[in-house]
Amino acid sequence: MPFFNVHVPKDLFSLDQRKAIAESLAHSLQDSFGLPPEDKFVVINEHAEGYMFLHPNYGNVERSTGAIVISVHIPASRPMSQKRVLLKEIVQRLHDNVGIRPDDVFVTLIPLPSENFSFGRGLSAIDKGDD
């Protein structure tokens, strides 16, 4: 059920690299939250120069101009232990599979109640269809 919204500098990644980003993020969910491979919802947004403003060293990291921002909408019920694993998995997989530097991965986890997710048809993810 998590949803990834990824912001990257325009023309930094090829189509194959963007696919590898999406796969890396999906696999990070499998390893951290135990979700099935089909639970893959990733949108990658490209931004031209002058549309992403990330401080180069805030938070004691060294960001390059190739830094990316990832917002992850997750069920609020996930414990901090799983969130920590997810953060580490995201960074490690993006580094291993795409070559993105760990300092260039800025992640925000956005917890939402499960009823605030819908896979479609106007139904909440928690609806059983009997209401």
Strand 68-75 to strand 105-112: parallel, antiparallel, or no bridges (unpaired)? parallel
Domains in the chain: ranges and CATH: 3-116 (3.30.429.10)
Q: What is the pLDDT of residue 98?
A: 99
Residues in CB range of 92: below 8 A, 6 or more apart: 102
The Cβ-side half-sphere exposure at 25, using a 13 Å CA radius, reads 26
Write the pLDDT tens digit of every residue in 54-96. 999 999 999 999 999 999 999 999 999 999 999 999 999 999 9
Closest CA to 74 of 66, 58, 85, 59: 85
User: Global pTM?
Assistant: 0.92
Q: What is the pLDDT of residue 126?
A: 83
Rounded Cα distance between 74 and 4, Å, is 9
pLDDT confidence of 123, banded at 50, 70, 90? confident
Closest CA to 41 of 76, 70, 4: 4
Q: What is the pLDDT of residue 93?
A: 98
Write the pLDDT tens digit of every residue in 21-60. 999 999 999 999 999 989 999 999 999 999 999 999 999 9
Q: What is the pLDDT of residue 66?
A: 98
Closest CA to 31 of 87, 80, 95: 87
